[in-house]
Each structure stands twice: as C-alpha cells, then as structure tokens.
Amino acid sequence: MIGFARDNIGFVRENARWIGGGFLLTLFSSFGQTFFIGLSGNDIRATFHLSGGEFGGLYMLATLGSALTLPWLGRTLDLMPGWKVVRFTMPMLAVACVLIAVAPGIVVLGLSLYLLRLFGQGMMTETCYTEIGRWFVANRGRAMSLVTPGLMLGNGLFPVLFVLIHSGAGWHAAWFASAALIVLVGYPAIMLLLRVERVPHSKEAASAKARTARDWTRAEVIRDPVLYLLLTGTLAPPFIATVIFFHQGYLVALRGYDPLAFAGAFPVMAVTTVIFGFVCGHLVDRFGALKLLPFFLAPLTVASLAVGLVTPVWGVYLFMLLLGISNGFTQNLMGALWPEVYGLANLGGIRAITVSAMVLSTAIGPGITGAFIDMGVPLPTQMIWMAGWCVLASLFLGYAARKVRVREADRLDLSVKV
C-alpha cells in the first residue's frame, strides 16, 4: 500500500501540469451541470413565471440542443490542441453565466441554458477526457482517476459558495460571481497548464500498440454496430443517476423519508466515487478497459434494486454507496474505453458522439420516467426494470468486447502477414 501511494505521488509530481489542467477542466464544468443550475431553479421559475413542468421542458430542450450540437463542435479537438479549444470554450461558458443573470425573457433564458449545457457539461468534460486519453497510454486509467474528482469537488464547493452569495446579494449576483471566477481564475490557470502538450514516453508509446485500436474515422464509427452495443450499457449510469436525482423529491414523499436524510447521503456517494475511481484506474492500467467492460454495471444493477426493493431510509445510503462505486468505475472506464476501441487520431469527434448520446440520455430520462409515473407506474417499480436493463446490457457489453478483441487480433495478424 505504501509503495502504491509513493508510486502515485511520483506520477502526479511528474505530470502535475497535465493532471492539474484536466482536474480544473472537470471542476469548472460544474457551472453547466444540472446540480449547479438547479440551485437557482426556484428563482428562475419565479422570475419568469414558469411552472415546474414548463421550466423542466425548457431545460430539456436546451439539453437536447446541446446534445445535437456537441458532435460537430467536439470535432475541433481533432483539428487543434486542447488549449486552443479552451480559448473559446471557457469565455463562452462565462458569457452563458452572465446571460442567465440578465435574461429579459424566455428566449434568452433558453439560450443561456443551452450555452451552459453545451460549453459546461459538454465541451469542458469533452476536452478533458480527449486530451487525457491522448496524452496518457500506459497510465491512462490512473490519469483519469486523478482528474475526474474535480467534478466531485465542484459538487461540494460551488453550491456552498452559490448559496452564500445568493443569501447576501441575490441569485443574479451569484451567477455574475460564477462568470468572474471562470474568467479570472479558471481560464488563466487552465491555459497556463495546458499550453504545453504532453508527449508519451517511449515505453508508453510501445504500450499504445497493445492498448489502442487502429484509427477509425467518424463515418466508420457511426456505421459500426459495435458502437450501439456499447451504448446500450454505457448510457445506463448517466440515465439512471439523473432519474434518481431529478425525482428525489417524489421518492422522498413516496417513502416518507426526511429530506435531510437524502441530502446527507450525497457525501457518501462523493467519497465512494473518488475511492473507486482510483481502484478502477489501477484495474484499467493493469487489464485494459475492454476486459472490465462486461462487469462495470454490476454495482449499478444492485443500486437500482436497492431503490426498488429496500424501503427503510438506510436504503438511500445503500443506493448512494453503490452509485458511488458505479460512478467511480464509469467515469474512468469511459475515459479509457474509446481509444481502445477506435484509436486516437479522431478521438475528439468520436468522443463527441458518445458524450452527445450521454447528454441526450440525461435529457430524456426524467421525461420518460415522469410519464410512467403519471401513468401509475411508481419509480421503485421502474428501478427494477432498470436493473434488468443493466443485466441485459452487460451481456451486450461482453459480446461487444469480444468482437473488438477479435477484429483487432485479425488486423494485427493481417499486418504481420503483409
């Protein structure tokens, strides 16, 4: 254990510039995440006289617009280095923060939500994962495990700052402060760190031959049936987590929980996510993402069953614990998977497709499950269905992983014969 910790410290020290830049990208993506935008949800509804359903619909449209734009905007990461993408992404994120504070009507409000989702949740995380995936080969899993906790820090830090500013100066001031933090702190720090490109060492370059597929084009990826098999499983974690967080008020009322009990379980999820992110990073570097792929939905399967079947309040903590394990594996596995399947040359555009699908799943999840609730199907019953989805998707993922390994082995054999 001591040797493992010493090895990690040495790795961080050697790669502090790039790990720090990736960490800050995930940290500042918080301003476009649902948990942050939701902090001013009641104020926005009151200001623009929106019902909960109307605001939810507007937010869904903005998120869908972001999902449709991301595949095209994400291609910029294949045409220029990440720091040049940051050069327009972060200023636009700051503009979105200002725009939501000064919006005179629904149209501008919708535009600001679209920009927050596109440049915050979308492009900030897209830039981080694409650059880390390219820069690190032999230690890709470890690098991912070190940058993804940035979002967990954002979950714990920014809501507190927002509430403090809100209570003293109002919600508009909190959004102005967010824009200032992006421009004055986040932007210069990330630009400083990412301006120097990392070149993998010779040992890492040798490892790339074993851990990275041939370079697929985006057109080839879209036509590849394996992509859709992979998406059946990789979209389950964001879909299910978003559904639970969106409907947490409904679940609290249905089960008669103390609202503070649900809120108190979030730190359990955050800590577990970080811990198992490191565990997954180590396993990815040792075995590769493809070998882990058929098993990574197991914690989410049990978590979904916990929501569906465990009615006492301790079931909330069990769910959050298992969701944290799932998040730790998902965040790191998804960062390492796509280079193993589709190569590095067009990774930005390819990741943009997968991230867009993820954003789309988080947009439609609450709507679909809400419609079932209105039809008389309670959320706990739906969660049992989702556990079944995870089991079936795991079988698809196992088949997809085998298919990828076989076709890469065939390609390597062919290249040797030629």
pLDDT of residue 48: 92
Where is mean pLDDT largest: 106-110, 194-198, 284-288?
Answer: 106-110
pLDDT of residue 57: 81
CA 201 to CA 205: how far, in whole Å?
6
pLDDT of residue 143: 83
pLDDT of residue 235: 92
Q: For residue 381, is pLDDT > 90?
A: yes
Indicate the Cα dihedral angle 173, 175, 177, 178, nearest 10°: 170
pLDDT of residue 213: 63
Considering the chain, what percentage of its residues have pLDDT values greater than 70?
91
291-335 tens-digit pLDDT: 999 999 999 999 999 999 999 989 889 998 999 899 888 878 887
pLDDT of residue 411: 66
CA 338 to CA 331: how far, in whole Å?
12
Q: For residue 4, is pLDDT > 80?
A: no
Q: How far apart are the first and last CA of the chain?
A: 46
Average pLDDT over residues 214-226: 88
pLDDT of residue 414: 55
CA 33 to CA 154: how far, in whole Å?
10
The overall average pLDDT reported for the chain is 85
- Give 38 or 102, the one with higher predicted confidence: 102
Considering the chain, what percentage of its residues have pLDDT values greater than 90?
35
- Please report which helix (H) or strand (E) contains residue 347, including its range: helix 347-374
Domain with CATH 1.20.1250.20 in the chain: 1-195+202-209, 212-410
Average pLDDT over residues 85-97: 96
8 A C-beta contact, residue 60 and residue 370 = no
In 3-state terms, the chain is what percent helix, strand and coil (to 5)? 85, 0, 15
Average pLDDT over residues 98-117: 94
194-206 tens-digit pLDDT: 988 776 654 555 5
Helix axis angle, 298-309 relative to 379-417, nearest 10°? 170
Indicate the pLDDT class of residue 345, thresholds 50, 70 and 90.
Answer: confident
SS3 192: helix
111-122 tens-digit pLDDT: 999 999 999 988
8 A C-beta contact, residue 92 and residue 85 = no
pTM for this entry: 0.77
Complete DSSP assignment for 179-243: HHHIIIIIHHHHHHHHSSPP---HHHHHHHHHH------HHHHHH-HHHHHHHHHHTHHHHHHHH
Indicate the pLDDT class of residue 103, thresholds 50, 70 and 90.
Answer: very high
Q: How far is CA 60 from CA 89, 99, 166, in A?
A: 22, 18, 25
Where is mean pLDDT largest: 60-64, 229-233, 264-268?
Answer: 229-233
pLDDT of residue 412: 59
pLDDT of residue 308: 93
For the domain bounded by 1-195+202-209, which CATH number is listed?
1.20.1250.20
Q: Tokens 């989410």 identify what position? A: 300
Q: For residue 344, is pLDDT > 90?
A: no
136-166 tens-digit pLDDT: 876 777 788 888 888 888 877 888 888 889 8
DSSP 119: I
pLDDT of residue 211: 53
Q: Which fold has domain 212-410?
A: Growth Hormone; Chain: A; (1.20.1250)
5-61 tens-digit pLDDT: 566 677 778 888 889 999 999 999 999 987 788 778 778 888 999 876 787 788 888
55-84 tens-digit pLDDT: 778 888 898 898 889 888 888 888 888 899
CA 310 to CA 314: how far, in whole Å?
8
50-63 tens-digit pLDDT: 876 787 788 888 98
pLDDT of residue 122: 86
Nearest Cα neighbor of 101 from 4, 31, 190 is 31
pLDDT of residue 81: 87
